[in-house]
Amino acid sequence: MLLPLLFLAATMPATIDDESKVPPYTLPDPLVDNAGNKVVDAKQWRESRRPEVMKLVEENIYGRTPDTRARQQAAVSEVVETDAQALGGKATRTQLKVWPIGKSGPAFDLLLYVPNGAKGPVPAFLGLNFGGNHTTVEDKAVLLPSTWVSKQWAAADGSNRATEKGRGTQASRWQVETLVARGFALATVYCGDFEPDFPEGWKQGFRAALSPEGANTAWKDGDWAGIGAWAWGLSRSLDALAKVPAVDAKRVAVIGHSRLGKASLWAGAQDERFALVISNESGCGGAALGKRIFGETVGVIAGAYPGRGFPHWFTARYSRFAEKEHLMPLDQHHLLALVAPRPLYVASAVEDRWADPKGEFLGALAADPVFRLLGQPGLGADVYPAVGQRVGKSIGYHVRAGKHDVTLEDWQAYLDFADRVMPAK
Ligand code: GCU
């Protein structure tokens, strides 16, 4: 009997891609506390409900980030390379090597472009990249990562080493010239410097380095996972940026695309130093509601079906909600609400149906009451906007034409929003 049962358990339901087939669902209200009481003011949110929501998100989705403050006291940051005439003289490029828990632990490489000629410290965008810092710009001086990179960026010899062939291949996703021209700095770090993105990748990253059992750690339910490690890395990158006099650490936006958008949301939720939090097409396990069954589902992403999904991104309990999303005591709007009252931007692409564009909008909409309770204008819209139309006041949203990507159109929206909430001049 065991075999047929296993087979049944492993049959993946057809992906829903048709709005009329979305089953009904009910969302828990983030403004009702665990005891069932309505949260009525900012003080109550701040002092009791926000910590409850944080715990719900930790326990059920990403796991708890360990308190590493003692280890961080040994942090060291060194300038490896700098050029005040980068990008044709428009910016100063600096490459830092940072050992966030001291030189006995691993390091990460931070690439930074700061516009030249600014009158004082400038605001910045900080985000992780998928393939190495050298993929984010055409600039020949950007160093290759020495850590594991996935096949698509790696040498043909199967060694998972980065090579020149990746240089500039992601440049359209970063738009550094545009950022610099508008007075913003850009900082980026390769996500694999914190944790290579494969099931055993943690053994080569900071989760192992920070665990007393190192690469032998047996992760328990509630422990952090890959997204948690990346989010931690974003905070350590902000620590390093905060020591750069040309950057104003009080005006740093955290941004991420797709899986790295999930990480940017979790970083922004936990680390209130981020002045603006941006999710570019973060989808399932990011801004998109999980109880709304459309595109990728909790079951698929959390690894309930053989050969599918990314269980190493999440804490174990998340997979228990596979095909049982209705049992989740929270949804992704709880995560988005943790950003409040700080500004949030959620963006989708209309052809990115796997990420459920409308579910991303509805996630932002369901978080909106928390922003408003905290005195912010929030989304200011309750109707899914037309393609290409921007909505929102302190929660921005747009769904642009096209595929799963980060484009100039997305950046223009983020920069216009940033001009309002963390202006360059
Ligand atoms: C896969 C995954 C998504 C993720 C995406 C990405 O498609 O299913 O959840 O966002 O990869 O990171 O590009």
Rounded CA separation 121/276 (Å): 17
Single-letter code of the amino acid located at 9: A
Ligand 1 site-directed mutation target among 354, 356, 404, most atoms within 8 Å of CB: 354
pLDDT at 4: 47
- Do the Cβ atoms of 346 and 412 come closer than 8 Å? no
Entry pTM: 0.97
What are the φ and ψ backbone dihedral angles of 238, each rounded to 5 degrees? -65, -40
Enumerate the H helices of 317-403 as residue ranges.
332-337, 357-373
3-state secondary structure of 63: coil
pLDDT at 5: 46
Closest by CA position to 418, among listed 234, 170, 179: 179
C-alpha 331 – ligand 1 centre gap (Å): 18
Closest by CA position to 76, among listed 49, 105, 45, 36: 105
C-alpha 378 – ligand 1 centre gap (Å): 27
Q: Which two tokens stand for residue 236?
A: 């350590």
Q: Specify the residue for token string 């422990």.
A: 223
Is 146 noted as a catalytic residue in this protein?
A: no
Taking only the tens of pLDDT, the chain with its 425 residues reads 444 444 445 789 999 999 999 999 999 999 999 999 999 999 999 999 999 999 999 999 999 999 999 999 999 999 999 999 999 999 999 999 999 999 999 999 999 999 999 999 999 999 999 999 999 999 999 999 999 999 999 989 889 999 999 999 999 999 999 999 999 999 999 999 999 999 999 999 999 999 999 999 999 999 999 999 999 999 999 999 999 999 999 999 999 999 999 999 999 999 999 999 999 999 999 999 999 999 999 999 999 998 899 999 999 999 999 999 999 999 999 999 999 999 999 999 999 999 999 999 999 999 999 999 999 999 999 999 999 999 999 999 999 999 999 999 999 999 999 999 999 96
C-alpha 181 – ligand 1 centre gap (Å): 31
Residue 28 lies in a domain: no
Q: Which of 150, 211, 319, 404 is catalytic?
A: 404
pLDDT at 9: 55
Rounded CA separation 23/2 (Å): 30
For helices 259-270 and 50-57, angle between their N-to-C axes, nearest 10 degrees: 150
Q: Please, which residues have CB within 8 angstroms of residue 31's CB and are 6 or more apart in sequence?
A: 38, 39, 45, 49, 369, 370, 373
Number of CB atoms found within 10 A of residue 25's CB: 13
Q: How many CA atoms lie within 13 A of 232 on its CB side?
A: 27
Q: Max alpha carbon distance in the chain (Å)?
A: 73
pLDDT at 310: 98
Residue 260 lies in a domain: yes
What are the φ and ψ backbone dihedral angles of 268, each rounded to 5 degrees? -65, -35
Residue 189 lies in a domain: yes
Number of domains in the chain: 1
Is 404 noted as a catalytic residue in this protein?
A: yes
Q: Please, which residues have CB within 8 angstroms of residue 232's CB and are 6 or more apart in sequence?
A: 65, 68, 194, 206, 224, 267
Q: Which of 235, 237, 258, 282 is catalytic?
A: 258
Rounded CA separation 298/327 (Å): 12
3-state secondary structure of 25: coil
Residue 305 lies in a domain: yes
Q: Annotate 313-337 with three-state secondary structure.
A: HCCHHHHHHCCCHHHCCCCHHHHHH
The CB of 284 under 6 Å from ligand 1? The reply is yes
Residue 43 lies in a domain: no
Residue 261 lies in a domain: yes
pLDDT at 7: 47
Closest by CA position to 301, among listed 292, 312, 291: 312
How buried is residue 45: exposed, middle or buried, by Cβ count under 10 Å (0-12/13-18/19+)? buried
Enumerate the H helices of 188-316 as residue ranges.
206-210, 226-242, 259-270, 298-301
Residue 324 lies in a domain: yes
Rounded CA separation 185/249 (Å): 11
Residue 29 lies in a domain: no
- Do the Cβ atoms of 253 and 277 come closer than 8 Å? yes
Single-letter code of the amino acid located at 80: V
Q: Which two tokens stand for residue 74?
A: 């040994």
Ligand 1 site-directed mutation target among 12, 62, 150, 258, most atoms within 8 Å of CB: 258
Domain containing 256: what range? Answer: 54-421
Closest by CA position to 254, among listed 351, 133, 125: 125
165: CATH: 3.40.50.1820
Number of CB atoms found within 10 A of residue 36's CB: 6
